[in-house]
Structure 1
Amino acid sequence: MQLAEERRDAIVDAVEREGRVLAAELATRLATSEDTIRRDLRELDAAGLLRRVHGGAIRRQPEPSFSERATTDLPRKTALAHGLRACIRPDDTVLIDAGSTHLALARLLDDGCAATIVTNSPQIALALGAFQRTRIVLLGGTYHPALGATVGAATLAEVARLRLDLALVGVCGLDPARGVSASDPEETALKRAMFAASTRHAVAALNERFDDSAAFLFGALSEIDHLVLEHDAPAASIALLRQHHPALDITITTKAVA
């Protein structure tokens, strides 16, 4: 019988050699169940040895900078942003979490779309800087260049004092069974506080994030009111979401146009 450590070493070797592996193929190759392989992939992802994606895993690449992410897959992110914009009401106090999809949203918004917009992203605040009717509040804290966000104890304390109508919170992973997650523990604590400070919660997820799980959970799907997914998000997983979370408002975007 193959030991768990040997099996995981074999998985890492396969990912390094092939670049991408499928859970079903690994289960056959290593004579074990897909559930076991998926559990291995979660643990290996958390250890930073590979990147778990829908259906399998890929070789982990260095994280791109925020400025690089802001210009990557812009049509797809803009399509998600249109779905998020529909969640915002004119009288709302809205928190927009840092992130490249949320920056695309900020560029779509009109002055007066909300009463107040609060953000931990200097880039988002600048994109909204000409607004007169909508008040823009930038949260303080320590600026994290890779995240394009302010984080840390000061930011967390400011979020804890907020009373929000809507929080648009970025995710690194969205798993129909486990919930929404992030890759950085400090960022995770901040996202959890954003959930706690708001009455309504909206999340948009690219396919790379959907049905995936980063290391640190910060919320359950039952806490989300609005979920925006891409037009070609996995149909089986969407069906699971609708079955287990019938109250969840799911928006499927139209196909992005380059």
Structure 2
Amino acid sequence: MLKKERHAYIMKQINLHNKVLSSDLSIQLDVSEDTIRRDLNELGEDGKLLKVHGGALSKSFHFPFQENEVYAQSAKRSVALKAISLIKEGMVVLTGGGTTMIELAKLIPADLEATFFTISPLVALELVEHQKLTVILIGGQLSKNAHINIGASVINDLSEIKVDVCFLGANGIDAKEGITDSDWEVVQVKKAMIKCTSKIAILSISEKLNSVQKMRVCGLNEVSHFITELEPKSVELDSFKDFNLNII
């Protein structure tokens, strides 16, 4: 594979999953880790990603980010707009983090009165701009990679609340493997979030469909609503229609 092709593949993966590991890319591209490190260094020097120990992070996910650096922002805004339909007056809502959740926070109607719990400081800052919302940030150790609060204190606080609906992003989503992620601590927090509610809404752009990360968050049988920018009848969603999902 040519270097240009490797770089394109790396950028595709980092834009979709926010983080890549050199070891994983080495296996996927069948090249040495030294080659991958050189590729990541070059892409970092070009300002296309943020090189970190063992891999790289997406610039669009790193704070502070510019509007034009958010990957697939139009699709994420479409997903967020659909998700708004699930939020009703007086609800108690729980959200994860990520750029799609930030789009959701921006689109909350100005006259909506509701209570929002979130594990994301960036989402909380967007939500607090809405005067009629009560915003509660669940605190803990701030993950440098995911920009959400993680750890035992977060999981303990989550065990003490019950919400009407929980909005979660998906790092990987597949009909067989369900919702997956690449960060063990993030997975534990997401599992705790799922226990807070009987209504789980997964928000994901369609490019992440049929992708699998190393660690399982939950099966699709645990999900109530699945929201992408696609039309619900799209053939790309056919493999998800065997589940008892409300595809929006």
Structure 1 pair 80/86, CA: closer, same or farther in 2 (3 Å)?
A: same
| Deviation of the 1:51 alpha carbon | 8.9
Residue 249 (structure 1) aligns with: 246
Q: Which residue of 2 aligns with 1:138?
A: 137
Contact 1:88 1:114 in 2 (8 A): no
Is it true that 1:49 corresponds to 2:25 in the alignment?
Answer: yes
Q: Is the 8 A contact 1:165 1:200 kept in 2?
A: yes
The equivalent residue for 1:185 is 184
Letter in 2 for 1:49: L
Q: Which amino acid aligns with 2:159?
A: A
Measured on the aligned residues, the alpha-carbon RMSD in Å equals 2.9
**Displacement of 1:233 after TM fit?**
9.5
Q: Distance in 2 between matches of 1:126 and 1:103?
A: 9
Whether the aligned pair in 2 keeps the contact of 1:207 and 1:233 (CA below 8 Å) is no
What amino acid is aligned across from residue 48 of structure 1 in structure 2? Answer: D
2:205 paired residue number: 206
Cα-to-partner distance string for 1:202-242 (whole Å, 9 max, x where unaligned):
01111232110111111110111111123289955511211
Contact 1:94 1:114 in 2 (8 A): no
Query: Which residue in 1 is equivalent to 2:127?
Result: 128
Residues matched between the structures, number:
207
Classify 1:133/1:233 alpha carbon distance in 2 versus 1 (closer, same or farther; 3 Å): closer
Tell me the distance in 2 between the aligned counterparts of 1:75 and 1:203.
Answer: 18
The residue identity in structure 1 corresponding to 2:154 is: T
Query: Which residue of 2 is the match for residue 168 of structure 1?
Result: 167
Gaps of 5+ in 2: 10-20, 29-35, 41-55
Q: What is the aligned-residue identity percentage?
A: 22
> Which is greater in Rg?
1
Give the match's secondary structure for 2:189.
helix
Q: What is the DSSP-based 3-state SS (H/G/I as helix, E as strand, rest coil) of the residue aligned with 1:199? A: coil
Query: The residue matched to 2:103 in structure 1 has which SS?
Result: helix
* Alignment of structure 1 residues 24-39 onto 2, 5 Å: none
Query: Separation in 2 of the partners of 1:91 and 1:248?
Result: 24
Give the conservation status (yes or no) of the 8 Å contact 2:138–2:154. Answer: yes
Deviation at 1:110, TM superposition (A): 2.1
Shift in Å, 1:18: 4.5
Aligned to 1:39: none
One-letter identity of the residue aligned with 1:231? L
- What TM-score do the two structures reach when normalised by structure 2? 0.74
CA contact (8 A) 2:93 2:117 kept: yes
Q: Could you say if the C-alpha distance between residues 114 and 218 of structure 1 is closer, same or farther in structure 2, counting changes exceeding 3 Å?
A: farther
Higher RCO, Cα 8 Å, sep 6+: 1
